[in-house]
Chain A
Amino acid sequence: MKNHKFMWLISIMLVLSVFLAACGDKKEDAGTTEPVKDKEEDKGTTEEPAKEVPQVLNLIEAAEIPSIDSSSSEDAVGFNVLNNIMEGLYRLDQESLPVPAMAEGDPEISEDGLTYTFKIRDAEWSNGTPVTAHDFVYAWQRAINPDTASPYGPYLMAGMVKNATEIGEGKAEIADLGIKAEDDKTLIIELERPVAYFLSLMSFGTFLPLNEEFVTAQGDKYATNSEAMIYNGPFSLADWDGTGNWKYVKNDKYWDADTVKLDEIIVDVVKETSTAVKLYEQGKKDRVTLSAEYAMQYADDPTIINELETAVFYFKMNQVRDGKPTPLANADIRKAIAKGYNKEELADAVLANGSIAANFLVPTEFTFDEDGKDFRDYSKEFSVYNVEEAQESWAKGLKALGTDKVTLEILGGDTENAKKQQEWFKSELERNLPGLTISLKEVPFAVRLELDDTSDYDIQSAGWGPDFQDPISFMELFVTTSPQNKMNYSNPAYDKLIESTKTTYANDPIKRFEVFAEAEKMLLEDDVAIAPNYQRGRMVLMNPAVKGLATHPFGGDYSYKWTYMEAVEK
């Protein structure tokens, strides 16, 4: 009997729940959609042109925020958020030039370029406490402290900030780091060597200030949600519980709050491009980054924008594998590979995402001299596609190796995009270089990294995104001792040239660029150590009402400080 009742109870409950669900459906439809829609459509369609446009920007991120504790941030999303909620000594302006931010005007730089004295401007954290020189000292010391286990702190400071390397090795105290607060308003930074790009580097996430009192009070909880942080940048974070979506709201305490026009930026994490595009088309989102398929489909859309990034992708050609020289130890073989595929076709037809063919290592639109002249104007083009030359070198190389057949492995990623490229490389190279067989090894990123650590590959499809605005960010990758080399390339003359840019020519920007150009020629033309493939671009659809959204070549990708919504009449 008991069971009988129990079953009936369940049945009735289940049946009722269906009705409830059905009713709820209607109510929700009538109740919540209307006001939401009204608000959304205000921007898109024009009701009354005279009406002021709500200063709300709707954005999409493809990933959640992993960490915005500036000491432990290590990825694009984290650095981008930091760039908009915090402010360092310098900030990149709309043209990506470093301008004083927390610093009051330009610093005093000592004759030898080793000591920088910054004056800190009158500014407040979002909780009303003043931003002082001590906040910078604390943040930098925290980032170099081995207990913090900051990935970027030692990576960026070692060899640059005084005693950073020694602290890492345990030979110096953390307090010995070359950053001191003379008083609340005066910050003195001592360097190991003159650093030409030091001011632009001061906009980078790792060097942002942190308020010691607040951070220590929060302890482990610091920066794990929007309440557990204070802000000194154009925006504060809101409605972020550590995962998922977030909002930026205008920070009224920001020293330059008058410049900031947006009241709110709503960010949702959307990983599917198709969903992101649908949200854009419905006017719910103002900007969406397209994958290659969608870039082709929307090629004629009037709102499509092509933005060039500063990441460069190339082939690392390993000269020694398992203790034995590979065919790539022969310079002619390397040259044949480097010139043996049509990069224009790669960029336009295979990638089709706004990327451009790279006949260089240091990207275009990345670094400029004092007159705004691009570094690329100092250097030339190398490894330009040329089948005849490639085949000539190939024949010469094969002869030197005493063979007519060579098998080489290309190590690359296992994403759809990577696989597509690798297939293309294989067919292109095998067609142009007779006797060459390419085997493809497609592995997850983590595995590729392990194989790279042990130089266990012939050719590796790799790439690099810079962390500071200077050719050395790329040029240093291939010196003998670089952790990025791992392809057994070593040219003492190259190492010496790179070293001279840090010493002899450190304070001579023009000469430095010329030396880098010389080094680039050595690396790409004389030694053909690597074969550059493309500089990555992205295709974006953006609501034409969005104005003044600044993009940057390193660190945080975007600045919303100058962004505003314009009334659009249709």
Chain B
Amino acid sequence: MAKYITKRVIYMFLSLFLIASFTFVLMKLLPGSPLASAAKLSIEEREVVYEKYGLNDPIPVQYARYMGNLAKGDFGVSFQYKNADVTTLIVKKLKYSAILGAQALIFGTLIGIILGMIAALKQNTVWDYGSTIIAILGISIPSFVFAVLLQYVFSVWLGWLPVGLWEGWKSSILPSIALAMGPIAIAARFIRTEMIEVLSSDYILLAKAKGANWFEIAFKHAFRNALIPLITVLGPVAAGLLTGSLVVEQIFAIPGIGEQFVKSISSNDFAVIMGTTMFFSVFLIVIILIVDILYGVIDPRIRLSGGSK
């Protein structure tokens, strides 16, 4: 197991290095100036500012300096937020996004699993159709449409929850639910398909023949096996939540990181672009790593084949 994880971690750093380099190149190809007032200044006046931030150096020099700082964990300072340290900036904004993301993921997966199991155990009944419809709606309607809908019903119409702004945990409910629609749909679909498959397999028949009760069959045998494919998609789903949060955060006026990412690109805020990209990459890669390790926990065969090379 240790060997397997070590190998994965080395790959992880290699991927990050490539992502950082690639982002750097793309960023340098971005047209435009990081100065908000660039339109007002003459080219000479702009040059003075670029000089200070080292933007006039040859690209390889900038690249080497950038990678050097990155290795030390230093993302540099933002242009847009003068003097603001990018790491601090990300950490401050991340708080809100992380709360929304984690709630959406946990809530979404749980509800999805429940819906999927109901659908599988009561296949071809009203329950099944009902949960399938929910799954289809969840996958086909974008989260921001749900966001507006929820906002209208629960805040404007019923007045139960805040329209927007961060006023504590209450403010996180609607955006979390809006974001959870995707995970609900995905989890429900996967669990349903897998459960149906597993339930019709021979060993379930054997378990039934041995007289195992319904509960034991459903949870101990069928559910556990159905979990594997679900865990596979959870990584991408978590990453998907981040992109979904770009718009949802804006609708609910929550000062999260999603919106920051978009803004940094449109304002050519190089340090923040790099910081957020690296952060998202690390996030996704770590999630994938965790998923791989979880495989091993749930299905020991995977770990064996991975580690016995």
Q: Give the B-binding residues of A (Cβ under 8 A).
A: 3, 6-7, 11, 14, 17-18, 21, 24-25, 28-29, 32-33, 36, 64-67, 69, 72, 74-75, 146-152, 154-155, 168, 220-224, 241-245, 268-272, 274-276, 278-279, 281-282, 284, 444-447, 449-450, 453, 467, 483-484
B31 in contact (CB, < 8 A): yes
The answer to whether A446 and B33 touch across the interface, beta carbons within 8 angstroms, is yes
List, in ascending order, chain B residues with CB within 8 A of A29's CB. Answer: 160, 170
Decide: A242 and B107 in contact? CB cutoff 8 A: no
Q: Is the CB of B83 within 8 A of A75?
A: no
Contact B41 A278 (CB under 8 A): no
Q: Smallest distance from the beta carbon of A457 to chain B beta carbons, Å?
A: 14
Could you tell me if B32 and A272 are in contact, using CB atoms closer than 8 angstroms?
no
Residue of B nearest to A37 (CB): B159
Do A282 and B163 form a contact, CB below 8 Å, given A29-B170, A147-B52, A272-B250? yes
| Cα–Cα distance between A447 and B266 once the two chains are bound (Å) | 11
A-B contact pairs, 22 of them (CB 8 A): A3-B298, A11-B219, A18-B107, A21-B103, A24-B169, A66-B82, A146-B51, A149-B49, A224-B83, A242-B84, A243-B89, A243-B93, A245-B166, A270-B164, A271-B259, A275-B163, A275-B253, A278-B163, A278-B164, A279-B164, A444-B266, A446-B31
| Interface residue ranges, B against A (CB under 8 Å) | 30-33, 35-43, 45-46, 48-49, 51-53, 77, 80-84, 88-89, 92-93, 103, 106-107, 110, 148, 151, 155-156, 159-160, 163-170, 173, 219, 224, 250-253, 255, 259, 266, 268, 297-298, 300
Q: Is B250 touching A151 in the complex (CB atoms < 8 A)?
A: no
- B255 interface neighbour in A75, A148, A150, A269, Cβ under 8 Å: A269
Q: In the complex where A24-B169, A243-B89 touch, is A69 in contact with B253 (Cβ < 8 A)?
A: no
Select one of B35, B53, B156, B255 contacting A245, CB under 8 A.
Answer: B255
Q: Are B48 and A168 in contact (CB under 8 A)?
A: yes
Residue from B35, B53, B81 within 8 A of A242 (CB atoms): B81
Q: A residues within 8 A CB of B40? A: 151, 155, 467, 484
A347, B24: Cα distance in complex, Å:
42
> In the bound complex, what is the Cα–Cα distance between A453 and B45 (angstroms)?
13
Which partner residue on chain A sits nearest B298 by CB separation? A3
Contact between B45 and A14 (Cβ–Cβ < 8 Å)? no
A148 CA / B156 CA spacing, docked (Å): 48
Residue in contact with B36 in the complex, picked from A74, A222, A242, CB distance below 8 Å: A74
Contact B32 A242 (CB under 8 A): no
CA distance A257 to B255 in the complex (A): 32
By Cβ-Cβ distance, the 10 closest A-B pairs, closest first, are A446-B32, A483-B42, A149-B52, A67-B82, A244-B255, A74-B37, A270-B253, A149-B49, A278-B163, A275-B164
Give Cα A269–Cα B298 distance, bound, in whole angstroms.
45
B230 → A minimal CB distance (Å): 13
Residue of A nearest to B77 (CB): A220
Decide if B110 touches A14 in the complex (CB within 8 Å).
yes
**8 additional A-B residue pairs with CB within 8 Å, beyond A17-B106, A65-B81, A245-B166:** A151-B46, A155-B37, A221-B83, A244-B92, A278-B155, A284-B163, A444-B266, A449-B38
- Tell me the minimal C-beta distance from A132 to chain B in angstroms: 25
- List residues of chain B with CB within 8 A of the CB of A6: 297
Residue from B39, B42, B148 whose CB has the most chain A CB atoms within 10 Å: B39
A177 to chain B, nearest CB (A): 16
Given A74-B37, A242-B92, A275-B253, A450 and B45 touching (CB < 8 A)? no
B34 → chain A closest CB, angstroms = 9
Chain B residues whose C-beta falls within 8 Å of the C-beta of A282 in the assembled complex: 156, 159, 163
Chain A residues within an 8 Å CB radius of B48: 146, 149, 154, 168
Tell me the smallest distance from the CB of B104 to a CB of chain A, in Å: 12
Q: Complex Cα distance A244/B255, Å?
A: 6
Output the nearest chain A residue to B164 by Cβ-Cβ distance: A275
Contacts of B35 in A (CB 8 A): 74, 151
Cβ contact within 8 Å between A151 and B253: no
Neighbour of A269 across the interface among B82, B148, B253, CB < 8 A:
B253
Tell me, rounded to whole Å, the shortest Cβ–Cβ distance linking B280 to chain A. 18
Q: Note all chain A residues with C-beta closer than 8 A to B173.
A: 25
Q: With contacts A3-B298, A149-B49 known, is A241 near B268, CB below 8 A?
A: no
**Pick from A65, A67, A275: contact of B251, CB under 8 Å:** A275
A278 CB, min distance to chain B CBs, angstroms: 4
Q: Which residues of A contact B155 (CB under 8 A)?
A: 278
CA distance A447 to B48 in the complex (A): 21
Q: Is the CB of A155 within 8 A of B167?
A: no
> How many angstroms from the CA of A11 to the CA of B110 in the assembled complex?
10
Q: With the chains together, A24 CA to B103 CA distance in Å?
A: 13
Q: Across the interface, do A242 and B89 meet the contact criterion of CB distance under 8 Å?
A: yes
- Measured CA separation A6–B58 after assembly (Å): 54
Bound form: Cα–Cα A33–B163 in Å? 13
Distance in Å: Cβ of A39 to nearest Cβ of chain B: 12
Query: Does A149 lie within 8 Å of B51, measured CB to CB?
Result: yes
Given contacts A28-B168, A444-B266, are A155 and B83 in contact (CB under 8 A)? no
Known A-B contacts A149-B52, A268-B253, A278-B151; the reply to A33 vs B32 at CB < 8 A is no
Given A36-B167, A242-B81, A274-B148, residue A447 in contact with residue B255 (CB < 8 A): no
B83 touches A272 (CB 8 A): no
Q: Is the CB of A151 within 8 A of B32?
A: no
**A446: contacting residue among B30, B42, B93, B167, CB under 8 A:** B30
Q: For B82, give its contact among A64, A72, A146 (CB under 8 Å).
A: A72
A150 and B255 CA atoms in complex are apart in Å by: 28
Residues of B within 8 A of A243 (CB): 81, 84, 89, 92-93, 255
Which residue on chain A has the smallest CB distance to residue B156? A278
Report whether A275 and B255 are in contact in the complex, using a CB–CB cutoff of 8 Å.
no
A155 in complex: contacting residue of B41, B52, B219, CB < 8 Å: B41
B297-A241 in contact (CB<8A) = no
- Which of B77, B159, B250 lies in contact with A271, CB distance below 8 A? B250
